[in-house]
Chains A and B, each alone.
Chain A
């Protein structure tokens, strides 16, 4: 239990997926203009990464390993994730319209988000079991949620600041990300 908790804190905060591993930079910079949209994106990412960590861990254990074709994991994973996102979208649309309203628009954007594939491949590299994979996936996605929501909050304030013309737009966002990354480095002493 203690190991799992440490794993979760480590993936969510200490090795933050965006700020120290640079996965999922695109939505982090692209969809972080408003806190509301950022939270929607973060929620969708939590949903997709948790489910796809679970499914890919099952596939790895019960299909790829018995057949001894682990080397096909990149190909299998990307196809499984793409198909999974489509299914999740259809399923939510039919059976949970309320959730679909808040997360649905972001789901297709996540298909080729490198964070999803990155987490699933890391689960294999670190030789995680199924439970550990799901926890690692969930925690990593929570880390993404934290980072993108904080970034959106900061960007809403930055709007009102007097920024040198050259740095307006993406440049100031990247500088903000740099400062956030320094702050998150402070967590590295925790574990």
Chain B
């Protein structure tokens, strides 16, 4: 049981996919214009992540190593299709506002990243808890970015008017596209400060991986591409 709790702690705090690892930046920027959208996206990703970790861990001894990436993609894409239909049926307004970003969960680097680095090597139960931890970490990240953007951009929290419009002029730019980049920039800068403090304390945080660093080695999809880095290929 201890290991499972450790997995949850690891996903939500220690290796939080949004704040620490900085994975899955496309949905992080795109759907956080309100807290509800962030929460919806986070939870649907969580469901896909738990189920994909479960299935991939269950089939880890059956799937041949050479075709594992296509196999993972088929599993993830099927799960995403199911989740998409469930959302269309039961939460049509959320599904409409998330739009194309729901099917795009397939290419979210968190999902394939966890499949490759954890679920394909570990038994089922820890893999499920790893999925829950990482998914909830992602949900927490998206929801809190959504809260900040919604509060500054519309004076609302979860759709309720918190700041009266009589005296508060919403900074509309925060709920529009540029606001997403701006909030993320300050988040990265804030994390830089925290990183430095933790390093001084002797407890360094795991380095950000994937998209933002432009580093192929840490990318969840690195096994799919032939692993040629553009920068190093130029110098060859």
Contact = CB atoms under 8 A, between A and B. Distances in A.
B103 A170 contact: no
B230 A41 contact: yes
Contacts of A37: 230-231, 234
Contact of B177 (A82, A111, A112, A185): A185
A75 B82 CA distance: 11
Contact of B107 (A41, A114, A171): A114
Contacts of B192: 166-169, 171
Interface stretch (B52-60, B120-128, B205-213): B205-213
Contact of A178 (B81, B178, B216, B227): B178
Contacts of A178: 178-179, 181-182, 185
A108 B224 contact: yes
Given A31-B230, A78-B107, 20 more contacts: A20-B177, A22-B180, A26-B26, A29-B212, A34-B231, A36-B234, A37-B234, A74-B84, A75-B78, A82-B73, A105-B228, A108-B226, A108-B227, A108-B228, A112-B109, A166-B189, A177-B181, A179-B178, A181-B178, A182-B173
A117 B76 CA distance: 14
Given A22-B30, A82-B73, A174-B184, A122 B100 contact: yes
B106 interface: yes
Contacts of A175: 181-182, 185
Contact of A118 (B25, B104, B176): B104
Interface of B: 22, 25-26, 29-30, 70, 73-74, 77-78, 80-81, 84-85, 99-100, 103-104, 106-109, 112, 173, 176-182, 184-186, 188-189, 192-193, 208, 210-216, 219, 221, 224-228, 230-231, 233-234
Classify chain A's interface size.
Answer: 35 or more
A74 B185 contact: no
B81 A121 contact: no
A157 B155 CA distance: 37
Contacts of A19: 177
B80 A74 contact: yes
Q: Which 5 A-B pairs have the closest CB atoms?
A: A30-B214, A108-B225, A174-B185, A178-B181, A26-B211
Interface in A1-41: 19-26, 29-31, 33-34, 36-37, 40-41
B177 A181 contact: yes
Contacts of B103: 74, 117, 121
Nearest to A175: B185
Contacts, number: 148
B224 A82 contact: yes
A22 B228 contact: no
A41 B231 CA distance: 11
A30 B216 CA distance: 9
Contacts of A114: 26, 104, 107-108
Contacts of A131: none
A167 B22 CA distance: 16
A75 B107 contact: no
Contacts of B30: 21-23
A108 B228 CA distance: 8
Contacts of A34: 231, 234
Contacts of A82: 70, 73, 224
A171 B192 CA distance: 9
B176 A74 contact: no
A84 to B, nearest CB: 13
A79 B29 contact: no
A91 to B, nearest CB: 15
Nearest to A115: B26
Nearest to B78: A75
25 contacts: A22-B30, A23-B104, A25-B26, A26-B219, A30-B211, A30-B215, A33-B231, A34-B234, A74-B106, A75-B74, A75-B78, A75-B81, A108-B225, A111-B225, A117-B104, A117-B106, A117-B107, A121-B104, A168-B192, A170-B213, A171-B186, A175-B182, A178-B179, A179-B178, A185-B176
